[in-house]
Chain A
């Protein structure tokens, strides 16, 4: 059974960098599509795609966040990471990592982590 577990600080100060890790178990991040993704959800609101990372290192980011986001993968640790710089209160949300399955044009997110609440506040 594939499991994803997000971890990181639950509280980040404004203007600082949000850093999260997603540990994957039950599957190698080098399997299936080799793509993994991050998605966030502010309280009471909808889902927002942040971006995706391929285990080769290639990335695609949401244009609205592109200037502040960096995603990477570590195949030796079987984990993913997300960094979001210059955070503001608007970045307060539950952050999810998820596995990307499928192929170009019809990728979908089949396994999700439980999510981690990150609050931006001084």
Chain B
């Protein structure tokens, strides 16, 4: 079965750039999306179709996908961005999530 791998944790200082990776076999041939989940809340879509932001998502969130790695980049990270982030892609008709990355802003 298809697998997506994320680092368990990433730390970033406020105002700096955070990069969260998601790796999978030929992931660049698929479309990746990213979800943000804060404690006690439902996940929220922040990036879809590799690099598109839904309405209402700040411009500091961006995405890319090439080769075997998709990357979520948060520029000028703010304290409110501290959350778990999950990548997701489709393998045929099956949705696959990465294991999630806890982003700590300190």
Contact = CB atoms under 8 A, between A and B. Distances in A.
Interface in A105-122: 105-110, 112-115
B24 interface: no
Contact of B90 (A63, A96, A105, A113): A105
A105 B94 contact: no
B3 to A, nearest CB: 12
Contacts, number: 60
Interface in A83-122: 96, 101-102, 105-110, 112-115
A47 B45 contact: no
B97 A47 contact: yes
B17 interface: no
A77 B95 CA distance: 27
How many B residues are at the interface, by size bracket?
20 to 34
Contact of A49 (B31, B42, B49, B95): B95
B44 A112 contact: yes
A48 interface: yes
Given A46-B86, A49-B88, A63-B94, 15 more contacts: A47-B86, A47-B88, A47-B97, A49-B94, A49-B96, A60-B94, A63-B1, A64-B1, A102-B48, A105-B31, A107-B90, A108-B33, A109-B88, A112-B42, A114-B42
Interface of A: 37, 46-49, 52, 60, 62-64, 96, 101-102, 105-110, 112-115
26 contacts: A46-B97, A46-B99, A46-B100, A47-B43, A47-B86, A47-B97, A48-B97, A49-B94, A52-B93, A52-B95, A60-B93, A60-B94, A102-B49, A105-B31, A105-B90, A106-B49, A107-B90, A108-B33, A108-B45, A108-B88, A109-B43, A112-B42, A112-B43, A112-B44, A114-B42, A115-B42
